[in-house]
Structure 1
Amino acid sequence: MIETPIPVDPIPVSSQLHADDAFVSLTVSTAEAMNPTRRNTMEDRYVIHAPGTWNAPDPDMAYLAVYDGHG
């Protein structure tokens, strides 16, 4: 069986970090493509917390996670 990929446009998430006099930019893109011929539901999830938006031990720390729901 040959599967045809489904085109997905990633959604950029940007954050600017400042450390001393340096400038750092973080760009994160996500995309998902479900194959309905193999599974009826999409159980995978992702989490993105930009620096300064969650209770991190360091204010410059980002949290990026991907969870495989079909384990």
Structure 2
Amino acid sequence: MKAVSKAVKALGGQSGLARALSTRDRQVTQQAVWNWEKLAGRVPARYIRAVSVATSGRVTVEQLLKDHEPR
């Protein structure tokens, strides 16, 4: 299972991850998270640390970075 999918599951779904990453200055939509999970297969690099924090470390930075490695 990809780390992005683990993060989605840990936060109760794509909307949960989107809410956890959204701030007043930056909105992350459920649609964006769907694209990360279903099309890209990874979290954009600028959100990696925030995803790890949002999941309370259940999904680590290292796991998220692995999705960026060439296959």
Of the two, which has the highest radius of gyration?
Answer: 1
TM-score when normalising by structure 2: 0.24
TM-score when normalising by structure 1: 0.24
Larger RCO (CA within 8 A; separation ≥ 6)? 2
